[in-house]
A and B are shown apart, each in its own frame.
Chain A
């Protein structure tokens, strides 16, 4: 079925963004309102299309819209087409819905910023690019959105680029994303070369005839792309620094939407991964490693936003793990993605609210006892907290349990390892989130005298409250009658799905997970409630803590493995350039100059010498002709 409305999803925020950027200061007074309105209209269009889809029978729900013929060279054709199917609509509603709430929040949060209009222009640009990413019907269209969200992310991380460290953080995110983007472009090129198409439908049709090696290559390249965009191991180092951006940006881009693009990419490419077991195995390994990595990093972060960022990395690790488990896992990965979109965005907004009330303080050790001063923030953040650690009946319980259960049932040693990693991750999650919660809201007050904590205005707490409702109810709604699984089935698991032998019954997994959560919470309580908390990070800590505080040496590793050899290579190339290439150029010049100055001496200015030379030259030519013709 076709629909002419899909393009408006993208066009409205894109137009608003262009208008806000082009009109400049003239729109300072109403720019934020236009930006919010654009995002809300986009959500309205999305909701309308959703109702249209609901009215159709399952197999006819996917809507398409051809915009124009983008590239047409000989037999190689790419259309700029949009595809709104069961998978895209989930993202469309998440992006525009959470996006609109965060726009509303930002009106108040950024009200003292001189550049608020520009901020909203970038947010709209992000919404448009992200929608293009999830609505493209081919990898090329997706790539356009992929680069667009990278740009918006760069602009927003570096929004306060008057601080050099923030500008550096933006650059770091951009450069690390480029590594991933390289993977995506290589995947597209391999697909073109081997199958002659880049559209999802075309590759899906061609995949069964392609060799496993080709599909594995495409899969690994797609995984690289997903790792770059979703801050997965080994390209995870940029996410922590990305917290330099304003908090609404962290909530929208670096928690709810953009960083989940990698999960979307893998789920969308299910026909490739299902046919390439090696690539799929790498996906689960990356997911499992990252979920533990992020959780471990999160345990030692004193910066509230960076703790949440580490948690985001870890939760996306869960999603990647789920997506790597094949047809049974995709729907759970998307479910966790959606519930995570609610509770993590809500918690980031809560963190923003805390910072708003505490003079932009981010150090957990300088908070404490904020429960009494910010009751609404406490409650909304608390609901998000219960959701993320997976306490029933909050959202995270349903989605995370499903992934842990699927991991256990993956079969053999692999299943036990992955399941244990996911379970251990759940305990760590409970620990570091309880730590954030305890240090921020309970205990003694540890803030400086000039801080005057106060509750945020309604424009800020209302989005938090709505997201908190989502954190409470979404998991239940998605799982009721397997609603989301059935909804996504035509996209991610067409045909029969193989039933795995259950290693552990669902109830056992849930009990295990809850036990782990309880252990995590208990340790946090023992460490941070029973013992006084210093308002500066203690120095006499174990070597392990020191390493964890430095993000498990991720920056040091990147420096040692990539930066130093890269710089050495660059320096070598500079020397080669100066000595060999510049040397050759300068040598040619020197030869010309030297021979010129020597030849110049023959120009005596005496007519007679010129005449003699002409005579000799003419005689030589005549002699030469005579010799040759003889």
Chain B
């Protein structure tokens, strides 16, 4: 099967994730969209690894997973804390950091 198809899929997934981050308000959904983008990037890395015939891309993909796991822990903790204090999980409500 043509490797380029994986890259098209990766691009599609990344676009869905990016659009989701920009247009959705719910923090959990935004968060999931971020995960989607990370995994789209992972898919690209693995694909490139296969195209080039070495393991570099796959190693980087592992790093991405580790970082994503950490990010999930911290991000969810922040979202839960914000929800507790403001009774809302909408990212638009957390807009104090301006001007």
Residues of chain B within 8 A (CB-CB) of A606 are 91-92, 95, 98
Given A606-B91, A606-B92, A608-B92: A615 and B98 interface contact (C-beta under 8 Å)? no
The stretch of B1-9, B16-24, B47-55, B63-71 in contact with A is B16-24
Contact A615 B18 (CB under 8 A): yes
Question: How long is the Cα–Cα vector from A215 to B48 in the complex, in angstroms?
Answer: 87
Mask, A590-608, CB within 8 Å of B = 1, is 0000000000100111111
Mask, A607-627, CB within 8 Å of B = 1, is 110011001000000000000
- Tell me whether B84 is interfacial, beta carbon within 8 Å: no
Question: How long is the Cα–Cα vector from A128 to B27 in the complex, in angstroms?
Answer: 87
Contact A607 B94 (CB under 8 A): yes
Contact A607 B98 (CB under 8 A): no
Question: Which of chain B's residues has its CB closest to A616's CB?
Answer: B22
- Tell me whether B96 is interfacial, beta carbon within 8 Å: yes
Question: How long is the Cα–Cα vector from A606 to B24 in the complex, in angstroms?
Answer: 12
Mask, B70-97, CB within 8 Å of A = 1, is 0000000000000000000001101111
Question: How long is the Cα–Cα vector from A76 to B21 in the complex, in angstroms?
Answer: 76
Question: Which of chain A's residues has its CB closest to B91's CB?
Answer: A607
Partner of A600, one of B23, B92, B94, B99: B99
Q: What's the minimum C-beta distance from B40 to chain A, rounded to whole angstroms?
A: 14
Question: How long is the Cα–Cα vector from A89 to B49 in the complex, in angstroms?
Answer: 100
Contact A605 B91 (CB under 8 A): no
Contact A605 B99 (CB under 8 A): yes
Question: How long is the Cα–Cα vector from A615 to B22 in the complex, in angstroms?
Answer: 9
Question: Which of chain B's residues has its CB closest to A604's CB?
Answer: B98
Residues of chain B within 8 A (CB-CB) of A611 are 21-22
Partner of A608, one of B21, B96, B97, B99: B21
Contact B18 A604 (CB under 8 A): no
Contact A608 B22 (CB under 8 A): yes
Question: Which of chain A's residues has its CB closest to B33's CB?
Answer: A611
Contact A612 B22 (CB under 8 A): yes
Number of residues on chain B facing chain A (CB within 8 A) = 14
Residues of chain A within 8 A (CB-CB) of B25 are 608
Contact A603 B99 (CB under 8 A): yes
Question: Which of chain A's residues has its CB closest to B19's CB?
Answer: A615
Residues of chain B within 8 A (CB-CB) of A604 are 95, 98
Output the residue of B21, B22, B23, B95 with the most chain A CB within 10 A. B22
Q: What's the minimum C-beta distance from B25 to chain A, rounded to whole angstroms?
A: 8
Residues of chain B within 8 A (CB-CB) of A603 are 98-99
Question: How long is the Cα–Cα vector from A333 to B52 in the complex, in angstroms?
Answer: 104
Q: What's the minimum C-beta distance from B22 to chain A, rounded to whole angstroms?
A: 5
Residues of chain B within 8 A (CB-CB) of A608 are 21-23, 25, 30, 91-92
Question: How long is the Cα–Cα vector from A570 to B21 in the complex, in angstroms?
Answer: 65
Q: What's the minimum C-beta distance from B72 to chain A, rounded to whole angstroms?
A: 17
Q: What's the minimum C-beta distance from B97 to chain A, rounded to whole angstroms?
A: 5
Residues of chain A within 8 A (CB-CB) of B94 are 607
Q: What's the minimum C-beta distance from B94 to chain A, rounded to whole angstroms?
A: 7
Output the residue of A603, A604, A611, A612 with the most chain B CB within 10 A. A611
Question: How long is the Cα–Cα vector from A603 to B99 in the complex, in angstroms?
Answer: 6
Q: What's the minimum C-beta distance from A353 to chain B, rounded to whole angstroms?
A: 82
Contact A605 B96 (CB under 8 A): yes
Question: Which of chain A's residues has its CB closest to B95's CB?
Answer: A605
Residues of chain B within 8 A (CB-CB) of A600 are 99
Question: How long is the Cα–Cα vector from A606 to B91 in the complex, in angstroms?
Answer: 7
Residues of chain B within 8 A (CB-CB) of A607 are 30, 91-92, 94-95
Question: How long is the Cα–Cα vector from A603 to B95 in the complex, in angstroms?
Answer: 10
Question: How long is the Cα–Cα vector from A606 to B97 in the complex, in angstroms?
Answer: 8
Residues of chain B within 8 A (CB-CB) of A615 are 18, 21-22
Question: How long is the Cα–Cα vector from A582 to B82 in the complex, in angstroms?
Answer: 50
Contact B98 A605 (CB under 8 A): yes
Q: What's the minimum C-beta distance from A139 to chain B, rounded to whole angstroms?
A: 68
Residues of chain A within 8 A (CB-CB) of B22 are 608, 611-612, 615
Question: How long is the Cα–Cα vector from A607 to B25 in the complex, in angstroms?
Answer: 9
Question: How long is the Cα–Cα vector from A607 to B90 in the complex, in angstroms?
Answer: 10
Question: How long is the Cα–Cα vector from A600 to B99 in the complex, in angstroms?
Answer: 6
Question: How long is the Cα–Cα vector from A474 to B99 in the complex, in angstroms?
Answer: 91
Question: How long is the Cα–Cα vector from A357 to B65 in the complex, in angstroms?
Answer: 107
Residues of chain A within 8 A (CB-CB) of B99 are 600, 603, 605
Question: How long is the Cα–Cα vector from A606 to B21 in the complex, in angstroms?
Answer: 12
Question: How long is the Cα–Cα vector from A608 to B99 in the complex, in angstroms?
Answer: 16
Q: What's the minimum C-beta distance from A100 to chain B, rounded to whole angstroms?
A: 80
Output the residue of B25, B91, B98 with the most chain A CB within 10 A. B98
Residues of chain A within 8 A (CB-CB) of B96 are 605
Residues of chain A within 8 A (CB-CB) of B98 are 603-606
Question: How long is the Cα–Cα vector from A616 to B94 in the complex, in angstroms?
Answer: 22
Residues of chain A within 8 A (CB-CB) of B95 are 604-607
Q: What's the minimum C-beta distance from A603 to chain B, rounded to whole angstroms?
A: 5
**Of residues 550 to 609 in A, which have CB atoms within 8 Å of B's CB atoms?**
600, 603-608
Q: What's the minimum C-beta distance from A616 to chain B, rounded to whole angstroms?
A: 10
Question: How long is the Cα–Cα vector from A615 to B91 in the complex, in angstroms?
Answer: 17
Question: Which of chain A's residues has its CB closest to B21's CB?
Answer: A611
New A-B pairs, 16, CB < 8 Å, besides A605-B95, A615-B18: A600-B99, A603-B98, A603-B99, A604-B98, A605-B96, A605-B97, A605-B98, A606-B92, A606-B95, A607-B92, A607-B94, A608-B22, A608-B23, A608-B92, A611-B21, A612-B22
21 residue pairs bridging A and B, Cβ less than 8 Å apart: A600-B99, A604-B95, A604-B98, A605-B97, A605-B98, A606-B91, A606-B92, A606-B98, A607-B30, A607-B91, A607-B92, A607-B94, A607-B95, A608-B21, A608-B30, A608-B91, A608-B92, A611-B21, A612-B22, A615-B18, A615-B22
Which residues of B are in contact with A by a Cβ distance under 8 Å? 18, 21-23, 25, 30, 91-92, 94-99
Q: Top 10 nearest A-B pairs by Cβ distance?
A: A605-B98, A605-B95, A607-B91, A612-B22, A611-B21, A603-B98, A605-B97, A606-B95, A615-B18, A608-B22
